[in-house]
Structures are given as structure tokens and as C-alpha cells.
Structure 1
């Protein structure tokens, strides 16, 4: 803060971080893989907001970066609706799923993509290349040609000639097929309704027969209350995996008939299986593992010597590591920190030198405009402790008038089995650089804090999450960090239910924003896709006990109690939380005379990908808060109409 900084009220500070910069600046980086003759080439997906949010596959070889899937190709799958695991690499050949037609394509060397399946109603994900048998092994999701019946999930072999053979079926869900180094065995994970994969899964192993089919599978680990994920084979053919049987997602291996814990500790070596293909560990040699793990919401990187049972930290600048892949003498990872936007980096494991290969944001604003978060823990209801990252208003050109306190947006993350990280996001800095604080809450039920904390939301969705967000807001107000009369809550998807419940059943927050939020739990069950169709059994209760609780906790049945101004954002192509969930709330508030705004978006699904829509939503949300709290607004055409709010 300079001595000549202007004195301007919180919430209207001029900022160089425009909505257009937020939309243009963030290029999502996901799904790492290694390939090439020596395994040293690094592959990744980059999201292109300026191209309707398509994902393109990039390869770094030496000093050169090539785009392997030019427009219109979109490397994306919608298996389980959330997708992931949309491509695989073997040597110089890439196999991928194209979002527009569900066909599988092959890119050999630097050639053009060529389709080798017919696509249609069949989706594939989580590929493993079985080169010896000229095929891929993948999770297959077969959708009915018509109607709303749930798809059938299975494991399938997809020949390079396009012919498919089902290898395993009978369970509701499959994931992570992994072929042993010699090709003689296949491991995979399955689970069944009503469970989600972070509640309980089973790890299976079967011999691959001479004709490519599978022998009788045998159960290795897992069950209704044990979550197994990330099975991988060491170079010498030992099956490794992550299990939360101890209460924490830790590393294990199958050694003969015994299951061995490799590094027991109160840390998470995995994250919830929302998407396919996640990887938080890999092999440097038979007995050397490079891994990342999470403690108290922060990531660490280490090298584990299995024989010596020794975990050695690897120096790095990140506080979040989303995934990694281990190559000969190096690790490639996606990492970020409070001052580093998500980036792809390569760390030499001999000298720990770091090379940045790609950045999600090419040019960051000056540090004077960036808010570095504080990690907070605070008391909540029933003796619980909750966690959050607090971003104070920050702008080197401006200071607020003495004696005033800022408005603060409390964010309830989606999932709800997920977590907030402190990686630099321009979407957060958009608010803080304008004089609006942000509290990003890891409420009870969040991942990254062990199974007990994750299970705090069991049967308590709409209660524990709301209590923790309220406790965080009150903590800020009590410590002079927020104006108690300008507390805002904002959430998307599952976080939208938290937002709506907080505003409907409590009076702490004065305004709110719902991004494709859940308002009707019964309607969510009726319309939900297969993967999440029984999620509420865990979050609320099983039928028939759930009926009364659904009505008790669904904001749509209590709109008479909701009197706070709200703005709603909804993708009209959303298959996860259908548009009527927002529309019904908007209609109810309009009828009751409550200030409300609605921004429906054509061509958007569950989460917004198009740059113009990211700009539109941010500008509309800012305008809404400024109007609600009587702050000056920018001249020109209002970005959104607000019903029931006098001019």
C-alpha cells in the first residue's frame, strides 16, 4: 500500500483484473501422461475458453510443444458425466475420445487423428493400452438409444480395428483398469449403488487368458466401508493401491498373499474419484515411489524408499499438487500455490531443478493486487473444528476509509465431497482486488482431512456444511475482518444447496449467489444421472426415511422463509443439476417480491466453459452485490436485470 493510495469504499475499488482477464487468463490444465520412446515426453490437456471450452492435447518433446488435436477435436468424455481419463499414450501413438461423437481416435506420430470406432451412444474412459493384443482396455458406458434409463457400465476391450468385447460386467460402476507389466493380469475397481467411490469400492484381480478374456476375478481388498483407488503396478509386477482402511487414504501393496502398508500416516494419498485417471504416485524403480499427499488441506511431495520405509521430502514451491506422473529421473506435476496459478512443471529428481512447461495463466497481475490467503481453523457447532482460506481485500492503489469493514463472500465448494485449495485463482482475485474479501470454506464433509472429517456430512448435508460456513462468517466478523451487515454466501452445485439453506434457514448472510445449485432434493434424485443418483442415501438418508428429510431440507419448500436478495446462474444443458432447480427458486422469489436476478446460459452444462459466459456471470454478480448494498455501479447498460429491486 503506497502512501498516496486513494481512499475508496470497499466493494468499488478500481481493479486491473477484469472479468475478461479472468476468462481469458485461465487455461485449465489436466490429465498428465508420459510417452515417447524413452518415456520422457510429457502430454497434457489444455482447456480453451476462447474455443467454446474445448480440451486439446499437447505434447512437450525437448524444447518443442506440439498440439496433437487441433480444432474441432475436443479430448473429453462424459462417462459418469464428469469424465476424465479421456486419452492414453503408448510410445508415439495417442488414443483419445472425441466429445462430439464419442468416437475413439488414433494419432500416430505427428499424423492427423483417425477414428477407429463408431461412437454413438457408447462412451469410453480410463484407457490402458494392451499393445500385445492390439487393443485398448477401458471403462465402457452404454447408453440406451432412447428414454431415460440408466446406462450400463462395464470393462471392455476395444480392438484397434474397432471391435469391442466386454471383459467384466455386473457391477454398477467400474474404474481404473490396470494391466500388469507382462500383460498377464488385469486389476480394476468396482462399486455398486448406493455407494459412491469415496465411501466403498472393491479391488479385483484376474488373469488374462490366451484369447484376451479374463479368468475368474478374485477380490483383493475393499468393501462397503473401505475406499480403494489408484491401483498401479510397480515395474517388477507388484500391485499397489490406496486404501482408507486406517481412516486415511494411504499407500499399500499386494505382496504374495499379504497386503502391506507402505507408509502409514495421517495424510491423504488420494482425492475423491470424481473423474477418471487421477494419479498421486508413480514409480521411479521397483522400490522407489514418488508421491504427493495432503495434510490439513496442503499438498506435499516426497520420495518413498519402500525397502527402507523412508519418506524423503522433495523441495518444491507448491501448496497444491493435483496429479503427477513419474518418468526416468523426473516427475511431472500440476501444482499451484497462493502466488502461483496452476502450472505444469518438471522436477529433476537428481538435482531438484524445476522447469515450468505450461501455465494456466501466462501473465499474472502485479503482486500488489494479489491477496495471499491465511489458513484458518475455527470452532463450529457441536464442538467441531472447521477450516478455511481467508483472502483479505488487497489492492496496492487503494485503501478503504478508516473505521470501515469489507463485505465478504463465503464460498461453499461443490461436491460436496471435495475440497477448497489455496492455489492462485484470478476468479478469487477479481473480488479481493475490488475490496471484497473471500472466505473459502472446507466444511465438515470436505476431503483432505481424513475419513472421519469426510464422514461428518453423512446424513447431515444441508446442516453441517451450513453450520461451518456460518461459523466461518461469524469468526471473521468477531475478529474485525468482515462487515456483519454485508456477508454474502456463494456456491455452485452441491455448494448451491449450502448457499440456499444458509439463506433460507438462517439470518447471518445478507445476500447470495447460486451457481447451478440444488434446491429440491427429491427433484435431484428424480433427475440425477446414474453416478450420483444414490448420493443422497449417504448425504441425507435412504428411502423411505429420506422423504420427510428431503422436504425439511429442500429450500424450494421453504421459500416463505427466504427474504435475502439472490442471483442465480444456470447452464441450460446441465445434466447433473437440471435447470428447473434454479428456475423454480427464481419464480418463487419473484412472486414473493424478493430481489432476484437470473442468468440462464444456452450451450453450457454443469460448470461454465465459454469465455463470454464467464465474463457475463462475473460482471452480473458484481453488479448485483453493488446494487443490493447501495454501492456505486459502473455507467452503461446493466449486465443483469434485478426483479423487485427499486432503481
Structure 2
């Protein structure tokens, strides 16, 4: 018989430490022959490990020894950090190391050979990486690809020189990016002059892609003040002696965003672009033959949208080298959807499903007859999925039309001790202001053998994602289940401005940040209250970065929330610009709020710091001491105001943490601070032990 206890006070085995231990994610998968590689965050060491496996048959194996962290800081949020060139005897690995941001090369034995070497003499077969680039503060590299002649890697290089004084503090003026060639022989490690510039075009660059025949180079660029989900240029240039010449835009510009482009083996260039309001698949073909001056001749044909649909097939380009589709010799593998997604293979005439039962997809990559990606669903956590495109028959003709094989989980999770206490998410739509729909993901209270007294409604946590141009995922979330298993409901809001629902939906936030995001968060809370699924008197709001901004904006403008959990926020928008943040987002507020100084009054009207005297709900504020995106003073100034007014609050500053917490201790202490907040404001005792 179920125990009857108040919502929020149900006993649960999910502790703050258990949730923190699983807070790391996976990304950047790659096919390396029979092996699958990917990056996995390790909260225990606050590093990003490079892992690999074969068919998920055993535990994933770290590629590098302890202490190496495969991550870079390009664009503030990083980019694809490694390249593997497969080999029969050894693989060549090129990667960026987080500590010094240099590119390194390592010779890596295939998995079977590694195991044999370890077993043979007891010595570790882990490779010893050697640097490829010189020591240079403020210089970062991302998205390496093999150069056409095989002797270099080409990648995006970002350089930010130190400020010389207050008049030189703007990071945009001190930051430059180019596409560079890095010799694989290591000669540039001590001699930076050996690095060769391949192309320059825009202030921001992503996705350097040489064509299969080595005659052309494609890349994506954009300039301040536009963001890459507003407009980008897809550039193509001829390659002459390893240098891009005669660059021209072949797609994008105006109000068209191109987040990714990839070459097919036949020389066609595929790209995602949204001239019709949705990121859909386009194809660009090029004339053949050579001009008298050595150019590739013929130019580019007009881009063709080859698969138009009112569904989103890509996402926002927050990280350099992001991938949402992959051309293969069997067709183009892509994901698409509005909220919930499907993964399919388009063979030029029809779509064929590849991963039935999975509903969330990202980081798509392919090589040969296999595609790998990050996948998830409401009942299964996010995992690395590998899918054969040729079916299970090893004797089938390689060019025959066979049914794709079954997906394989490359890092299958062990038996889940918390399965009975996990909340299963549901996608929902709330009625919003002015007749607009608001998408959100609802996590109901979940427990093996507890129930609440009849007539009681659960407390609600409204979660606001960051970005704000991001999106929430309908997959199991142990941090949310930490609270749901104690009797809370959680609603993660895809407020106007979120991606996954077309350009019109994400442009709702144009010059309305601090208004639409707050209205939509309130609408979701009201929807669940109207359905009897939440207690409006015990509804709190939480979020980080842009979500921290919305949390503060809500606490200063509406009375719908009894408490707020604020992670690394923006509190004073007129000061969060130019030299007060990093280059990538230093002009972001032009589109979110307006241009300064022309729209100063609009900035002041939505500023949480400017209206901090209106805050009446208790709060906790969690901040990384090393955050260069949302600096500690943005949090500390709002904390100072509420402290002076005597309002109940907690402020935790975590040494060694940046924008988003990577250490398990920081995550667990933050969750405990939230539990204290909800206990104080909701008339319940929330224990996380």
C-alpha cells in the first residue's frame, strides 16, 4: 500500500551527489572504422574524456591517459575538438587540450591492438601526444579536418589579444578568426610561422570543409551584430596551392541562416538553410572543367531546396562545427521535427526511418556505411548511437538497396538503480498571451510507493533553459527526477526565442527579451495549475545564464513565483555588452533588446537590477568565479540589493567554475541550496539525503 505523504517530502534514493555524478554529457561522436569515438564530460575530474568502443560490447575505453581534457574555448562555448584519421596499424588523432588550448597529435593503436599491447608487457598502450601548435595565450583552435594533401589539418583559429587599456577593452576589436593549415609533422609547435592562413572572410567562422577532389573549400561566416541563427554566409572558394581564392557567397545573407554545409562524394554541396522559415536541406552543384586561369569554372548553380518541409532539420550554431546531417553514399542522414524529432535517410526520392523509438538527435556524423550520433527518448537517456546503413547481410552487394541495420548503443547504461523514481517527460503546449502557443516539457511527480493526500497539488519548478536561443529536451533528467521523486512537478519551457519550431517562433524574442520569456514561463505555470497538476502558491522558477536572466526578470515583474533559483545570470543588460562579456555574445542584445544608446530606455525597463527593489520572493544565486561570459559582478550586484533589503537569500560562489558547472561538488551544493530555498518558501521539508 502506498505511503501517504505531502508532495515535496517523499523519501527518495536520488541524492544530490548522485545527480551531480551524472551531470556530464556526451558529444562529438565519430566513426573510426569499426570503432565509435565520442567526448564525455567527467564531473568527478571536471575534464572531458575522449572515449571509444566497438558495437557497445564492452565498457567504453578512454583513448588518452588521465589528465587530458579534450575541449576548446573557441567562440566561448567551444567547437568540435578532435579529428581521427583511421589507419590499419595506427590511427592519427589530432585534438585540442583544454589546459593550454594547443593542438596535439597522437598515434593511437586500434582497440584490439591496444588490448594486446596492455596484456603483453603490462605497460600502458596509451599514446603520448605531441604538440602541433605553439604556446600562445588567447589562441584557440576548433573543428580540425584533414587538408587535401594529407600533410596538414585545417581548422578555425581564434586569437584574442590582451587589452592595452580601457579604450581597448571591447573583445570584438581584439578578436580575429581565420582558417589555418597546421602541419602534421609538428614543425609549427616551436615555430608559429609554419602555420599557414588558408582563408579569411568574416569576424566569425565555422565548418571548414575541403571538397572531396581538393579543388574547392567551403565554410560559414557571419559578422557582428548578427547572430548565426539570424544570418550567415555560406562561402565557397577555389583552392590554388593550398589557399582559398575568389571566395563567393553561394547561400545565405539577408535573413537566411546556414548553420552547416557538407560535401557529398559527387561534388555537390549540401547545406541547411531557412529562406522559407525552416532549416531545410539545400543542394548546390558546380560547373565542371577548368577555366583558363586555373579556376574550377562554371560557378555554382542556384541553390535548390531538395527536401522542403515545415519542420526544423538543424539547430543554432552555438559551437563551431556543429552537425545535424551527414551525406553518405546511400543518401543524406538527417533529423527533423517540431519539438519531437525523427532520424531518417533521404535517398533522393524518399525518406526512410533509421531509429524508431528515439525522438531526440544531435551531433550527426557519418563515414563509410555507418552513421553515429547522440540520441535520446522520453524513456531512455541520451546515448551514443551507431547505425549501419547497409543492413545485416555481410554478403549483400555494397551498392544494393538494403534495409539499414538496427541501431547499436555504444555506451549502454548499466542497470539504473533509480529507474522506479525517474520521471518520464511529456511534450505539451500551453495557451500563451496574444493567442500564441508555448511549447514545454512536463515532468510529473514520480515515486515507487508514495502518494500525496487527496486534494493536494504538487509544488512546481518552472525551468528556463539558457541561450535564450536553445531548446529543452524530452529525455530523462536525473536532476529533475531528484525533485520529481520527492513529489515536485517540473516544467521545462521552450519560450518564444527557442529553436526547434521555425524562425517565426525564435524571432518572438526580437526586442522583447525580459517580456516574452517571462510571459511564456507564467503561461506554462498557469496551464499546469488550471489542469490541477501544480499548486500555484508553491510554484518556483529556476534557470541558468539566459535562464538566470528570465528568473530574475520574472521575480522583478510578476508575482507568479514564490522563489527563484538563479544560476550565473545576467542582471544588468545595459552593462552586459561590449567589454563586459565575450566576443561572441557582445552584440547579442542588439536583437534581443535593442541598440545602445538609442534604446537605452528599453534596456532600463527590463533590467532586473534596475527593478531589484520589486523582488519579494526569496532566492538562491549560484555563480562560477571564473565565468567570463556572465561575470560574477552580474550576480553579486543583485545579491547586494536583496541583502540590503533583508530578503532571505543564499549566494554561493564556486572557485574554478566558469559558465556552467563542471565539478560534481559544485552541482551537488547548488542542488542542496535549492532544496533549502524550497523548504523555506513552500512550507515543506525537502531533504536530499
TM-score, with length taken from structure 2? 0.88
Corresponding residue for residue 639 of structure 1? none
Matched, 1:124 2:144: no
User: Which of 338, 351, 357 is residue 296 of structure 1 equivalent to?
Assistant: 338
For 2:54 and 2:532, the matched residues in 1 are separated by: 52
Corresponding residue for residue 447 of structure 1? 499
Matched, 1:537 2:590: yes
Query: Are the aligned partners of 2:102 and 2:134 in contact in 1 as well (CA < 8 Å)?
Result: yes
Corresponding residue for residue 317 of structure 2? 273
Cα distance per residue 1:291-321 (max 9 Å; x no partner): 111x221110111011xx2112224221111
For 1:370 and 1:89, the matched residues in 2 are separated by: 37
Matched, 1:67 2:120: no
Deviation at 1:26, TM superposition (A): 4.0
Query: Are the aligned partners of 2:678 and 2:686 in contact in 1 as well (CA < 8 Å)?
Result: no
Matched, 1:547 2:624: no
Corresponding residue for residue 56 of structure 1? 49
- The SS at the match of 1:195 is coil
Deviation at 1:61, TM superposition (A): 4.2
Corresponding residue for residue 174 of structure 1? 205
Cα distance per residue 1:82-132 (max 9 Å; x no partner): 002111111211100111111110011233211121132211111111151
Corresponding residue for residue 44 of structure 1? 38
For 2:407 and 2:251, the matched residues in 1 are separated by: 37
Corresponding residue for residue 235 of structure 2? 204
Q: 1:403 to 1:273 in 2, by over 3 A?
A: same
For 2:150 and 2:445, the matched residues in 1 are separated by: 58
Query: Are the aligned partners of 2:425 and 2:476 in contact in 1 as well (CA < 8 Å)?
Result: no
Query: Are the aligned partners of 1:627 and 1:633 in contact in 2 as well (CA < 8 Å)?
Result: no
- The SS at the match of 1:616 is helix
Cα distance per residue 1:265-314 (max 9 Å; x no partner): 011111100012222211231x6111111x221110111011xx211222
Corresponding residue for residue 193 of structure 1? 224
For 1:267 and 1:635, the matched residues in 2 are separated by: 41
For 1:133 and 1:328, the matched residues in 2 are separated by: 19
TM-score, with length taken from structure 1? 0.93
Matches within 5 A, 1:197-596: 197-210=228-241, 212-256=242-286, 257-285=301-329, 288-293=331-336, 295-306=337-348, 309-349=349-389, 350=391, 351-359=404-412, 362-525=414-577, 526-596=579-649
Deviation at 1:170, TM superposition (A): 4.6
Deviation at 1:149, TM superposition (A): 4.5
Query: Are the aligned partners of 2:509 and 2:592 in contact in 1 as well (CA < 8 Å)?
Result: yes
For 2:205 and 2:53, the matched residues in 1 are separated by: 31
Query: Are the aligned partners of 1:25 and 1:362 in contact in 2 as well (CA < 8 Å)?
Result: no
Corresponding residue for residue 398 of structure 2? none
Corresponding residue for residue 78 of structure 1? 73
For 2:82 and 2:425, the matched residues in 1 are separated by: 35
Query: Are the aligned partners of 1:486 and 1:629 in contact in 2 as well (CA < 8 Å)?
Result: yes
Deviation at 1:327, TM superposition (A): 3.3
Query: Are the aligned partners of 1:31 and 1:84 in contact in 2 as well (CA < 8 Å)?
Result: no
Deviation at 1:481, TM superposition (A): 0.8
Query: Are the aligned partners of 1:40 and 1:328 in contact in 2 as well (CA < 8 Å)?
Result: no
Matches within 5 A, 1:607-618: 607-618=660-671
For 2:85 and 2:365, the matched residues in 1 are separated by: 14
Corresponding residue for residue 18 of structure 1? 15
Q: Which runs of 4+ in 1 moved over 6 A?
A: none
- The SS at the match of 1:132 is coil
Structure 1 range deviating more: 228-237 or 324-333: 324-333
Deviation at 1:363, TM superposition (A): 4.0
Corresponding residue for residue 399 of structure 2? none
